[in-house]
Amino acid sequence: MGQTLYKAEITETPILRFAGHNFEPLPSGGLYWHAQETLLVADLHFEKMASFARRGQMLPPYDTGLTLARLESDIRRTGAKRLVSLGDSFHRVDASSLLTNSDRMRLDALTDLVDCIWLSGNHDPAPHAIGGTCLPELDLGGLTLTHEPKKGANGLMAGHLHPAAHIHIDGRSTRRPCFVHDNRLLILPAYGASTGSINILSPAFLGLFHWPALEVTMLGKDRTYPVSPKRLVRG
Amino acid sequence: MPDLRVTTALPPIIEDWFAGKGWSPRQHQLDVLASWQAGASALLIAPTGAGKTLAGFLPTLVDLVDGKFDGLHTLYISPLKALAVDVQRNLNAPILEMGLRISAETRTGDTPASKRARQRTKPPHILLTTPEQLALLISHPQAEILFGSLKRIVLDELHALVTSKRGELLSLALARIAKLAPNLQITALSATVARPDLLRDWIAQPTLRETHLLTTTGGAPPVLEILETEQRLPWAGHSANYAHADLYEVIKQHRTTLLFVNTRSQAELLFQGLWAVNDDMLPIALHHGSLSVEQRRKVESAMVAGELKAVVCTSTLDLGIDWGDVDLVVQVGAPKGSSRMLQRIGRANHRLDEPSKAMLVPSNRFEVLECEAALEAVAENHQDSEDPVNGGYDVLAQHVLGMACAAPFDALNLYDEVRRAWPYRDLPWEQFERVVDFVATGGYALRAYERYARLKRTEDGLWRVANPQVVQQYRLNIGTIIEEPMVRVRLIRSRGFKKGQSKSPIGAGGRVLGEMEEYFFGTLLPGDTFIFGGEIVAFEGLKDNEAFVSRAQSANPKIPSYMGGRFPLSTYLADRVRLILDSPDEWKKLPDQVSDWLRLQRDVSVLPRRDSLLVETFPRGTQNYLVCYPFEGRLAHQTLGMLLTRRLERARARPLGFVASEYALAIWGLGDLSALIRSERLSLDELFSEDMLGDDLEDWLDDSALMKRTFRNCAIISGLIERRHPGKEKTGRQITMSSDLIYDVLYQHEPDHILIQATRRDAARGLLDIERLGDMLRRIREHIEHKPLERVSPLAVPILLDIGKEPIFGEGRESAMADAADELMREALGSDPI
């Protein structure tokens, strides 16, 4: 076993330019839109682990709390006034009623603090009974925000697919969730603590992007990394 | 042990059978019978070829000879399905020849469901099975009736079971059966081990019966030598390429040669190398765990039929089954341990009175030292096998659920029963309670899942399963063997490659070559070549959990770097290697190229002493190196490397990376380590202080891929996550991903959770080898010898050659992304195109 541990640090904050707007990609998987003072997140999947428990798999009931902590920290850090969740905020339609008391109180505090917009997703198509506004989709600053990506879109931001990039460089390889866009369609990584991911080279992404214009930004530990698409591998 | 010979008269029919064969019963066979007749259990320690199987079953044959017994009499447990089948065959021969009315059946995963159901209600006299099948049997409500009549359990190859989780599972099953079968006596068969007394206690614990330790001695001592060669011995690497021609000559001179290697990739290389020089087209075969079952069976039967001249194999041929007329065992690569070596040597010449013949082939210069150490250890018949392990909470959780499936249980009663399993003899009540709580609701401090509980309390305080799905889930997730996620490898016609881009889509079909770990393909690009099943193949692509490859020509194929099969160097052999290094008088035994190497080391640096740690520091290129020689095995060195780089970073020595081998550890960085140490800004005693196993370890474990891998196993075994669902098989990748997420979530919130405790324990003695590292740090405390050098030392050459060769798993991931980001930046700036 051998490895390189440290690299010269890149300190500047990466800017993600999409459809003429500037965004700040956060290592948590959130995307901050300064001009709109809005934090965008996708696929929170609150109460995912608890929903396994009802099938007899007692996964730790802490994922919702962890996801909430990430949200709280991102909002504090960015000073966002608005939160837009791009669907699949809850893992199940009825999950908002299953929240533990403490998680429920934290979520209420959050919806009191910022203007929350919950877009519907395939996991949570119906409006839920928590603070904020539930909408099917949202137009903001000339862009459309929705859950599921569509082919031939122009200025569409979506989630749903949980994109991840797997790169290979000098014998090392790493696979992490990522932002991916072609300047017409942008897909956010899944934000929830309990969410898995799908390689952007897999068939689920087929035909969505104009390949030569592809830009990929991977989530690191404390920062994000825009990476060269030619380093992408499957798996 | 008492002399019981006088009492062991055999029934005439058995006496006659021996006589008819021209045999007489061996003393240890009679000893086992005598122990049984004295109402005792017995541990028989004997080398292979000593008629152990018959010894194990003789009391059963004697007891059943009158044909009057009804029900299950004897249970035989083997670590291998194939061994159970083989033993049944060997047992049925005398039963038939004596015309006894004794039924013997196997029960494995391959046994049809109808037959298994029948075996539960109308069992044979003798049932031959595996620990996993036994666990399933005792989880049935009928177990009480089934095992009520049981009188004997025969445990085969017990030494191989007690060091693993399978042994923990087996011990718990024995504790349960001992309760169901009041007349139970246990006979265990084992190869020679370091601590037979522990093995005896292990057997005695469930029944608390007197247990005799029976040892067969004798057998001619083995003849063991190191391959002599005119070739140049390599500095590093594990391929032993230099030896292929010499080995081929050796194979020619023997009837049948068994060539053992330590990993599957070494097996592939050796097989390839031997065929490259096989001018006489000798039948030389390959046998390892990744090949398809049919392929392996073919090799095995050709072996038994005496059709093969040589077989290259891994530990798949370590155990039990008799493969016919082997007259030479060759160990290629480091032997790793004395007991392992002795057992492998025992595969040659299954006759006690003739010496077994074996040869060691070191694949690099350090391994010459290890082989020399093994030679001495084998001559002294020194045993360094692992001791039986204490029980883990994951296996216990599985067992607790199984017992609830059998019948509602009282927690205190089950606790008392569980402690009759040797690995759990010291289990505290509080921990047992936590395990029960874990099985019921996940055992979380945040008690969120009471409403979904898998176990519920009845009114009279018993724990019962909440619903039938729980039982079904248990049955599907039983066992402790967690395979790496595997994909099937199929051979198809090449589709042609242009710069790594594939042309046509992959169709279906193609011959199955075998299976390989899924992660391996994650490191390949289409068109990459590697050796598999003795053929050079090119990777075509992955599709639906199958990997497609085509035949290829390549001078430099990538070799599969398999996870499995890397045994660490035993502590005992490591100490002997240090002793040889420290005793120049001993060097005359070594080949000249090796002793010259050591003399050179002595002249330009110093030699590692037996009881201290040599640390060399030297500049090379733009970087500075620290190389130390603990000889504690790659796993412990990896952990040490991880922890030392953290400390060096704090000491502002700016470390960049490290590489670990079985013998040494090298760390490189930008800081001038020699100067830092000279000016006392860096103290080696502090750097290597044992307290690194405190906070530094804790910080690292937090995000360690090794912990996550260990956690995944614990989570599956304990039933937290499922191996498979009825009707829908999860793919390996899905399980891996979700278990990593679960670990992250759980570790952050409840680092003291019972499953994190289980993971920590397993990692400490497994992938991280912390126990051994701790022992080493204590041993060398204030015995560090620092040697600042102008340039690399002779002893450091092998480890520096390893840099960049070994792929890494898990850590250091940020650097790959940082480099890819740099690259993109350079592209954007139009400089340094790639």
Domains of chain B: 5-215 (3.40.50.300), 223-379 (3.40.50.300), 393-481+705-764 (no CATH), 486-551 (no CATH), 605-698+777-816 (no CATH)
- The answer to whether the CB atoms of B804 and A4 lie below 8 A apart is no
- The answer to whether the CB atoms of B824 and A49 lie below 8 A apart is no
Strand A172-181 to A163-169 pairing: antiparallel
The low-confidence residues of chain A, meaning pLDDT below 50, are 1-11
- The answer to whether the CB atoms of A100 and B448 lie below 8 A apart is yes
Residues in B closer than 8 angstroms to A176, CB to CB, are 813, 817
- The answer to whether the CB atoms of B824 and A226 lie below 8 A apart is yes
Of residues A152, A156, A93, the one with CA closest to residue A121: A93
Give the pLDDT confidence score for residue A149 in this predicted structure: 97
What value does the mean pLDDT take over residues B309-328? Answer: 77
Confidence of residue B525 (pLDDT cuts 50, 70, 90): low
CB burial readout B258-285, b (16+ within 10 A) else e: bbbbbbbbbbbbbbbbbbeebeeeeebb
Confidence of residue B3 (pLDDT cuts 50, 70, 90): very low
pLDDT surpasses 60 at B737 = no
Identify the three-state secondary structure at position A166.
strand
CATH code of the domain made up of A16-231: 3.60.21
Of the partner residues A168, A172, A195, the one whose CB lies closest to the CB of residue B815: A172
What value does the mean pLDDT take over residues B617-645? Answer: 90
Most confident of B51-65, B655-669, B757-771: B51-65
Nearest CA in chain B to A171: B807
Confidence of residue B465 (pLDDT cuts 50, 70, 90): very high
Confidence of residue B20 (pLDDT cuts 50, 70, 90): very high
Give the pLDDT confidence score for residue B133 in this predicted structure: 94
Of the partner residues B452, B808, B824, the one whose CB lies closest to the CB of residue A1: B808
pLDDT surpasses 50 at B744 = yes
Strand B74-77 to B152-155 pairing: parallel
Give the pLDDT confidence score for residue B722 in this predicted structure: 82
Give the pLDDT confidence score for residue B2 in this predicted structure: 45
**What does the mean pLDDT of chain B come to?**
86
Looking at the complex, report in whole angstroms how far the Cα of residue B634 sits from the nearest Cα belonging to chain A.
Answer: 8
Q: What 3 state SS string does B103-146 have?
A: CEEEECCCCCHHHHHHHHHCCCCEEEECHHHHHHHHCCCCHHHH
Rounded CA separation B307/B283 (Å) = 7
Of the partner residues A4, A100, A235, the one whose CB lies closest to the CB of residue B446: A100
What value does the mean pLDDT take over residues B505-509? Answer: 63
Identify the three-state secondary structure at position B70.
coil
Of residues B260, B225, B246, the one with CA closest to residue B332: B260
Decide which of B249 and B351 is more confident: B249
CB burial readout B38-71, b (16+ within 10 A) else e: eebbbbbbbbbbbbbbbbbbbbbbbbbbeeebee
Of the partner residues B525, B813, B827, the one whose CB lies closest to the CB of residue A233: B525
Confidence of residue B566 (pLDDT cuts 50, 70, 90): low
How do the domains of chain A map onto residue ranges?
16-231
Joined together, the tokens standing for residue B186 give 């246990």
Joined together, the tokens standing for residue A33 give 């839109």
What value does the mean pLDDT take over residues B722-743? Answer: 58
Q: Is B824 on the interface with A (CB under 8 A)?
A: yes
Rounded CA separation B354/B47 (Å) = 13
Give the pLDDT confidence score for residue B351 in this predicted structure: 62
pLDDT surpasses 50 at B501 = no
Half-sphere exposure of B214 (CA within 13 A, CB side): 32
- The answer to whether the CB atoms of A100 and B738 lie below 8 A apart is no
What value does the mean pLDDT take over residues B558-564? Answer: 52
Q: From the CA atom positions of chain B, what is the Rg in Å?
A: 28
Joined together, the tokens standing for residue A97 give 């009623």
Nearest CA in chain B to A55: B452
Joined together, the tokens standing for residue A196 give 């898995």
Confidence of residue B209 (pLDDT cuts 50, 70, 90): very high
Lowest mean pLDDT: which of A80-89, B54-63, B208-217, B557-566? B557-566
pLDDT surpasses 50 at B576 = yes
Interface test with B, best of A10, A12, A15, A59 (most B CBs within 10 A): A59
Rounded CA separation A192/B411 (Å) = 38
Give the pLDDT confidence score for residue B266 in this predicted structure: 84
Lowest mean pLDDT: which of B95-99, B472-476, B701-705, B789-793? B701-705
Confidence of residue B326 (pLDDT cuts 50, 70, 90): confident
Strand A215-219 to A224-227 pairing: antiparallel
Q: Which of residues 659-698 of B touch A (CB under 8 A)?
A: 659-660
Rounded CA separation B184/B72 (Å) = 12
Rounded CA separation B381/B713 (Å) = 35
Residues in B closer than 8 angstroms to A4, CB to CB, are 656-657, 812, 815
Cβ A119 vs Cβ A84: under 8 Å: yes
Decide which of B182 and B830 is more confident: B182
Cβ B638 vs Cβ B644: under 8 Å: no
Residues in B closer than 8 angstroms to A166, CB to CB, are 522
Give the pLDDT confidence score for residue B468 in this predicted structure: 93
Joined together, the tokens standing for residue A160 give 């749903």
Looking at the complex, report in whole angstroms how far the Cα of residue B560 sits from the nearest Cα belonging to chain A.
Answer: 14
Residues in A closer than 8 angstroms to B446, CB to CB, are 61-62, 100
Percent of chain B with pLDDT over 70: 88
Give the pLDDT confidence score for residue B778 in this predicted structure: 93
Give the pLDDT confidence score for residue B485 in this predicted structure: 67
Residues in B closer than 8 angstroms to A196, CB to CB, are 734, 737-738, 741
Lowest mean pLDDT: which of B96-100, B321-325, B455-459, B595-599? B321-325
Nearest CA in chain A to B474: A56
- The answer to whether the CB atoms of A5 and B737 lie below 8 A apart is no
Q: Phi and psi of B278, rounded to 5°?
A: -80, 70
Global model pTM greater than 0.90:
no
Lowest mean pLDDT: which of A185-189, B110-114, B696-700? B696-700
Interface test with A, best of B476, B623, B745, B748 (most A CBs within 10 A): B745
pLDDT tens for B274-303 read 999 999 999 999 988 778 778 888 888 888
CA separation, residue B580 to residues B379, B559, B602 (Å): 16, 33, 13
Of residues B156, B159, B163, B102, the one with CA closest to residue B134: B156
Strand A156-158 to A143-145 pairing: parallel
Looking at the complex, report in whole angstroms how far the Cα of residue B807 sits from the nearest Cα belonging to chain A.
Answer: 6
Of the partner residues A2, A58, A196, the one whose CB lies closest to the CB of residue B808: A2
pLDDT surpasses 60 at B246 = yes
Give the pLDDT confidence score for residue B508 in this predicted structure: 62
